[in-house]
Amino acid sequence: MQRAGLAIPKYQVVFEALRRDIESGRLPAGGRVPSEAELVERFGASRITVGRAVRDLQLQGLVERRVGAGTFVRRPPATAAVDCTFGVLVPDLPDIEIFEPLVQGLLAAPESRGHAFLWGGGEAAPHDRASAAWGRVQQYINRRVDGVFFAPMEGLADDDVNVRIVQALDAAGIPLVLLDRSAYPYPKRGPYDLVGIDNRRVGYAVTEHLLRAGARRVAFLGGETGVSTIDGRRAGYREALDALDADASLARRPLPAPGDRDAVRAYLESHRPDAIVCAHDRGAAQLMHTLLALGCSIPGDIRLAGVDDVEYAAWLPVPLTTVRQPVRQIGEAAIAAMLERRAHPERPARDIFVQCTLVVRTSCGAIA
């Protein structure tokens, strides 16, 4: 299946087919969704692909999972009046692992009861996400939703898309709560509540941990600048080097793309780091595989740590030391912030930071 000459991801094909079955009544309310094995056979897809499609249906409130029984089409809500209707817009959901449990925390929070949620995110291919997000925002504005939760997009060719989205909501008088990151590049702030973690403190904490574990030359893997979460973690990394009077010679020499084996080899030979702070676990996992392929011992030759504590962090070839984001609590804090913003629109915008936890595993060398 293709769109505009480009292949549509297989999980999206499965998702759209099941969604049509639900909306048409072929899968009736309260009815059981075919098992993963049945869906694998029907679509000729892997269990991972089918599982992702079903999770997306669950995030959109179309199905629910019952332990020991299977997955069922959700029944329409009772006729009780809905207090508020909120829009949720998370365009990067398919690629950033923290967003799925974050949204689940938002929808499952006690404060969310009695409210309706419209979903937007994850349905477009990467090259279409900006235009799809803009179209979804126009729908929210036309429906006059009571508020919008928005996780600004990363890696955009047009950096103004996030700003246009928040300004359009602002002009329509719709309250906005940002998830995880600002819509503006640092140091701009914007007049919107933001719920997430203190990325600067996170970068400081993980760097400090590596230094106290015995590292002397700590490098940083973060990709391009301009992403506010990564920029904050990079700033914290530099502050920790300075505060602990550590060798800061690598602070201006970021690592190359973690999957580029030749470039990583050249970097190691030129700069000789003995530890690396990775701005997120996804990059840490890619780098770990590259380092192991190059014959490096982790943590013997290079200590490694990341941020996020995604589901697979503990199951990497060397279990990854990382900072755990309490993503479900971020979702719960977001709905509380939205309800308070609606009740007190005159209050100044706030950054609401949820406390993180350092999870120590083998990769940092602190565990014998």
Nearest to 222 by CA among 214, 232, 212: 232
At residue 160, the pLDDT reads 84
Q: CATH says 199-323 is which class?
A: alpha beta
At residue 98, the pLDDT reads 84
Q: From first to last of the 368 residues of the chain, give the pLDDT tens digit.
A: 444 344 567 887 888 888 888 877 788 888 899 998 999 998 898 888 888 888 888 877 788 888 778 899 887 655 445 689 999 999 887 777 888 888 888 888 888 888 888 887 766 676 788 888 999 999 999 999 999 999 998 876 656 889 999 999 999 999 999 999 888 877 788 899 999 999 999 999 999 999 999 999 999 998 766 678 898 999 999 999 999 999 999 998 989 999 999 999 999 999 999 999 999 999 999 999 999 999 999 999 999 999 999 989 999 999 999 999 998 899 999 999 999 999 999 999 999 999 999 999 999 999 75
pTM for this entry:
0.78
Instruction: List every span in the chain annotated with CATH 1.10.10.10.
Output: 2-73
At residue 4, the pLDDT reads 39
CATH number (2.60.40.420, 1.10.10.10, 1.20.1250.20, 3.40.50.2300) of 2-73 reads: 1.10.10.10
At residue 197, the pLDDT reads 95
CATH number (3.40.50.300, 3.90.420.10, 3.10.20.590, 3.40.50.2300) of 85-196+328-353 reads: 3.40.50.2300
Q: How far apart are CA 58 and CA 175, in angstroms?
A: 26
At residue 13, the pLDDT reads 84
Instruction: List every span in the chain annotated with CATH 3.40.50.2300.
Output: 85-196+328-353, 199-323
